[in-house]
A and B are shown apart, each in its own frame.
Chain A
Amino acid sequence: MASLWVLVLKELRDLLRDPHTLVMLLIPALVYSFMGEAAGSAIQQAVEQATSIKIFFVDWDGGVFAELLKSYVSRMAIVVENASKADAVIVIPASFTYNLSQYLQARVVARVKVEDVSIASLAIINTVREIISSFNSIVASILSGGKINRTDLVSVTVFATLPHKTLPAHVVESIYNTMFTLVLAPLIVAGYAAIISSASIAYEKEEKTLETLLTLPVPRTHIVVAKLVASLAAATLGTISTGFGVYWYTVKTLGLATPGSIGVVEVLGYKGLVSLLASTMTLLILTCVIGLFFGMLCQSVRGAQSLSGLVFMLVFAVGIPLLMSPLPPNPTARLLTALIPFSAPVIAVKAAIIEDNMLILATLASHIAYTLLLATYIAKIVSSEKLLLGIRLEHKLEKY
């Protein structure tokens, strides 16, 4: 027993003295609380927006039930007099009062204006739907004094009006799910790409093959580019297989996209599909290059992997809240979101849905720019002795 304790003590000391352990202990707490905060505020915002929703009525009926509906809605939402200021337009058909008084179904149509597909759009759609269906109990109590409880008299068909097209609400909901499915594979693999490429450099150090490699009659840049190409190839294959896995899980197992819902091409269009692929590649290249950089910082595979594990977390911390949140309505602010590192596939998919080509280009451009920036720094390291000796902070600090 005593020897076990001695061993445990040695393990703990070794772990706690390793700076990488500290990184693994501290950073996830920060990253995930940031992610929770961001996702939480997206949900919060969506809820707030949905409770203070502005509705404009087009009343072709003018009857008593139409008036009743309007006054009922005005208790739960803000009824506005100007269609352009409204979040949703509810159309009451001419036969509304007549149908209800005959115990027949009456159908209203709601058009919800959304900037893009986000949790906020889903919330507005849902609120409109709930307000109208809760009106059923009012109708029932008026018609029968509460004796019958029909909930199907008033039904609502909700459409979502995106900047460039109008879609049935269930399609928008399905797009939201499809979006998750589409970007999940790139987001998962992006982290692994960093881990693969960082290990490929750190492995050479750990196995003591780097020193020989660096004296071979080949340009140093070739050595690094070869590692980049190989990691990227592995990551691309990984994306494809993860994509299949995610598809299987969400579509076949969870049944998120049921028959009759729409396919990827319908959601994105071919141009959108291309931009998704392009943005996935730019993300993978960026994370591979970050991985190479981390590999250069570390002397062991363990260190390199734990450091690039951060990329894994960051990609999710950025991607998931971004996927849930609506894009900013302001065009300049929208372009600025394209500057967020690791945002590429999410932004590209969102931009493809609302057909914002500028945004697609901006997100591709920003990721390529980050990659080139880091690549120039890496090129500097590669041609110096830092690749062999490691980048030591102590030495830098000593100079000051």
Chain B
Amino acid sequence: MVEVVVVDKLVKYYGGFQALKGVSFSVFEGEVFGLIGPNGAGKTTTLRIIATLLKPSSGRVTVCGYDVVREADRVRRVISYLPEEAGAYRNLSGYEYLMFMAKLYARSKREAEDMVEEAIKISGLGDRVYDRIKTYSRGMVRRLLIARALMVKPKLAILDEPTSGIDVIHALHIRRVVRDYARRHGVTILLSSHNMLEVEYLCDRVAIMYGGRIVEIGSPRELLKRYGVRNLEEVFEKVVREGNGESMGSSFKGVKRFA
């Protein structure tokens, strides 16, 4: 299997605060990989480093073989990043926004138009796509942004809490699109989420982060089996609550501020 993302002993300090304490994992081609964990675990920090926004304090990250620090320009050409908290230019229409983005990726006008057409379908915005973004609801903006991230068919889509703020129906639609995209276009997807249902449905593999470390990794089914529970929520709860370093394996020892 081809590794699209390789994260190796990643450490990140914000000033004096250590947000990541040696994170390692790989994401394989065509896979949907989920990062879960409580608030402040380091999910966004990890995704931002992979998206070339932050520099690792130490450790190494490659995307499609390109180093995110030394070959950031190349990495940016193969990824598409959806930030956790993102806006879109309020004075543009959704269509104009998508077109602006498409032109930066497409090699021809035709290709750009195809991308935008695809994006309109993904977003489910319909005719509202021609309205100014400032008239959109929060969920509509989110859908626009997801559509813009996926329409370019990147090698790797990095989606930080993609469906946060989106209603149930649209979230279902988005999840189907994400899955469909990964299958159909060979797009590898790395996402974070607080929605365990979403993660169970979407992800081929999941990593649970806690206190700047990865404490569990595996397919949802493996994790359920390992903990003898029925759903991921219970796995999550067990990992976070009961974790005392004995049952979780060596990587989990020495987490001080644990529960």
Contacts and interface: CB of A to CB of B under 8 A. Distances in A.
A207 B88 CA distance: 7
A190 B249 CA distance: 62
Interface in B14-67: 14-16, 48, 51-55
Interface residues of A, number: 19
B55 A385 contact: yes
A395 B83 contact: no
A231 B76 CA distance: 26
B105 A212 contact: no
A217 B15 contact: no
A288 to B, nearest CB: 21
Contacts of A75: none
B53 A208 contact: no
Contact of B16 (A208, A384, A398): A398
A384 B79 contact: no
Nearest to A207: B87
A24 to B, nearest CB: 27
A385 B53 contact: yes
Interface string B73-94: 1001101111101111110000
A383 to B, nearest CB: 8
B54 A385 contact: yes
A384 B56 CA distance: 11
Contacts of A214: 52-53
B15 A208 contact: no
Nearest to B80: A215
Contacts of A217: 73, 76-77, 104-105
A398 B14 CA distance: 11
Interface of A: 207-209, 211-212, 214-219, 384-385, 388-389, 392, 394-395, 398
30 contacts: A207-B90, A208-B83, A208-B85, A208-B86, A208-B87, A209-B86, A209-B88, A211-B53, A211-B83, A211-B86, A212-B82, A214-B52, A215-B51, A215-B81, A216-B101, A216-B104, A217-B73, A217-B76, A217-B104, A217-B105, A219-B73, A384-B55, A385-B53, A385-B54, A388-B48, A388-B54, A389-B14, A394-B15, A395-B14, A398-B16
Interface of B: 14-16, 48, 51-55, 73, 76-77, 79-83, 85-90, 101, 104-105, 145
Given A217-B73, A384-B55, 20 more contacts: A207-B89, A207-B90, A208-B86, A209-B86, A211-B48, A211-B81, A214-B52, A214-B53, A215-B80, A216-B101, A217-B77, A217-B104, A217-B105, A218-B104, A385-B54, A385-B55, A388-B48, A389-B14, A389-B54, A395-B15
